Structure 1
Amino acid sequence: MSSHLPNSVTTARVVLLCGPSGSGKSLLAARSGLPVLRLDDFYKEGDDPTLPQVAGSSDIDWDHPLSWDADAAVAAIAQLCGTGRTSVPVYDISLSARTGSETVDFGGTPVFIAEGIFAAEIVQRCREAGVLADALCLSRGAVTTFRRRFLRDLREGRKSVPFLLRRGWRLMRDERAIVTRQTALGAYACDRDEALGRLAAAAVHSVPEVVDGLRVREA
C-alpha cells in the first residue's frame, strides 16, 4: 500500500511521537491540544500467524515492530494529511483484537500527532511522503517508565499480572536500547517540556525537519 502523497494535495502534516511504553506519550499528546491518532489501534490481532514471540518464551512480543501493521498506519496518516479524514480500527489491548472501526476527522488542522511505541518505524516513510512535521522520542528513565507502565496496564486490565511483570522487567532492561533504536530511525530524544515546546512550534509550522542532527528544511 503506497504512502506517497503529491505535495499539491497535502493539507496537513504529522508529528510522530514515540518512546518506551509508559513514557507518557498519550498524556503529552493530550496536553498539547493537537488532534491525536492512536497508533496502538494498528496492532495485529492475537490470532495473526505473523506475530513474533519473545525469545525463549511462548509470550507474544507485543513490543516488536512485527506485532504492528505499519502499512495500515502509514496509509491512515497519508489520508489524514490529504483529506483530514480516515477510517481506523478500534483495538482492545486486553482482548488482543480489533472490535470495530471508527472515522477520524481532523477537519482543517495543519498539524496532528500520531503517537505510539512504533511511531519511529515510519519516520522515513512519512518524510519521503512529504508529510512529516517532526518526530519525537519521549524518554523519562527506565524506573519511572516501569512504574508508570505497570500501574497503567494493571489498572486497565491489559494483560495478566505475570505477563505484565515479565514484560516490565524485560522493557526496563532494554529501555536504553529502545531509545537508541528510535533515535537512529529519526526521532529526536527529549523530555516532556522540550517535547511540548516542539509540538507548539509544529502547530505554527516552524519546526525544521532534521536529518542526522542537521536542519535541512524550514516549514
Structure 2
Amino acid sequence: MHAQVIVVAGPSGSGKSRLCSRLQEHPGVPVVNLDDFYKNGDDPTLPRISLAPGQEIVDWDDPTSWSQDDALDALERLCRDGAADIPVYDIARDGRVGSTSLALAGASYVVAEGLFAQEVVRGCRERGLLADAVCVRNHRLVTFWRRLTRDLREHRKPPLVLLRRGWLLMRAEPDVVAHAVSCGATPMTPDEAYTRLSALVVPVTGRSSRRG
C-alpha cells in the first residue's frame, strides 16, 4: 500500500473543491474528482426526474447516475500501484471525453472528493484504503447561492433548470448531510475540515508522519 484515501463529501456547492484546492497548496497532495465517474448521458440505466410537466432531465443527484465500482477500483489502483487512469467528464456534454493519468509521486495520501464521495467510504474502509472522511457543510442558503453562481458561470445547464434544481437541492440538503454521516463522514465547516485534514497531509511536505 503506497497511500491512503481522504474522502471529502458534502452537498453540491458546499465548498468541497475549494477545500481540496487549499489542501493542494501543500506539495504532494493529489486529488481525484469523483464526479468524473458519472455515467455517460446516453446510458439507459440513468435515473430521471421531472422538474415540471413535460420537462424531464437526468437526475444527476441520484447515486445510480454514477459508477461507484469504477471509482473504488481507480482509487485502489492509485493507492496500491502508485498510478491510475482517471476519466475526464464534461458536464455540459453529459459524458466522458477522455482520461488522464494520475500518479502519487511519493504522496502518502490522496484526496477523493465529489457529490457521491460518501458512497466510497465503506468500500475504502473494507479495502484498507481509508485514512479519514469528512462532510463539508454550510448554511443551506449559502450553499444554494454558491452552487447557483458556479453553475451559471460554467453554463452547466439552462438557467431555469439550474434554479429549479437548486431549490430542490436546498430542501434536500439536511438529508444529504445526514446520509453522509451515516456512511461514516464527519460533518464540519470548510475551515474545520481544512484544519483537520491539513494535519494529515502536511507531513507529506517534510514534517514527521502521524501514520507511524
TM-score normalised to structure 2 length: 0.90
Measured against aligned partners, the alpha-carbon deviations of 1:72-129 in whole angstroms (never above 9, x if no partner) come to: 1001100110122101111000110111111111211001100001010110110011
SS at 1:103 equivalent = strand
Tell me how far 1:174 sits from its aligned partner: 0.5
Task: Choose which of 135, 142, 145 in structure 1 pairs with 2:143.
Answer: 145
Tell me how far 1:186 sits from its aligned partner: 0.6
Residue of structure 2 equivalent to 1:87? 85
Indicate the percent of aligned positions where both proteins have the same amino acid. Answer: 47
Residue of structure 2 equivalent to 1:37? 32
Task: Choose which of 171, 177, 183 in structure 2 pairs with 1:179.
Answer: 177
Distance (Å, rounded) in 2 between the aligned partners of 1:184 and 1:143: 23
Tell me how far 1:202 sits from its aligned partner: 2.2
Distance (Å, rounded) in 1 between the aligned partners of 2:139 and 2:119: 21
Distance (Å, rounded) in 1 between the aligned partners of 2:195 and 2:64: 32
Q: Is the 8 A contact 1:76 1:88 kept in 2?
A: yes
For these two proteins, the number of residue pairs brought into alignment is 199
Q: Is the 8 A contact 1:139 1:179 kept in 2?
A: yes
Residue of structure 1 equivalent to 2:48? 53
Tell me how far 1:145 sits from its aligned partner: 0.7
Residue of structure 2 equivalent to 1:198? 196
Distance (Å, rounded) in 2 between the aligned partners of 1:103 and 1:65: 25
Question: Where does 1:115-154 land on structure 2 (aligned, <5 Å)?
Answer: 115-154=113-152
> Can you give the 5+ residue segments of structure 2 that lack an aligned partner in the other structure?
204-208
Distance (Å, rounded) in 1 between the aligned partners of 2:109 and 2:35: 19
Which has the higher relative contact order, 1 or 2, with Cα contacts under 8 A spaced 6 or more apart? 2
Moved more, 193-202 or 59-68: 193-202
Counterpart check, 1:63 vs 2:39: no
Q: Is the 8 A contact 2:136 2:193 kept in 1?
A: yes
Distance (Å, rounded) in 2 between the aligned partners of 1:12 and 1:65: 26
Distance (Å, rounded) in 1 between the aligned partners of 2:167 and 2:112: 27
Q: Is the 8 A contact 1:134 1:202 kept in 2?
A: no
Distance (Å, rounded) in 1 between the aligned partners of 2:78 and 2:196: 21
Tell me how far 1:56 sits from its aligned partner: 7.0
Distance (Å, rounded) in 1 between the aligned partners of 2:142 and 2:43: 32
Measured against aligned partners, the alpha-carbon deviations of 1:125-171 in whole angstroms (never above 9, x if no partner) come to: 10011110000100012101110001001101111112111110000
Change (3 A) 1:11 1:159: same
Q: Runs of 4 or more off by more than 4 Å in structure 1?
A: none
Moved more, 152-161 or 55-64: 55-64
> Can you give the 5+ residue segments of structure 1 that lack an aligned partner in the other structure?
1-9, 207-217
SS at 1:91 equivalent = strand
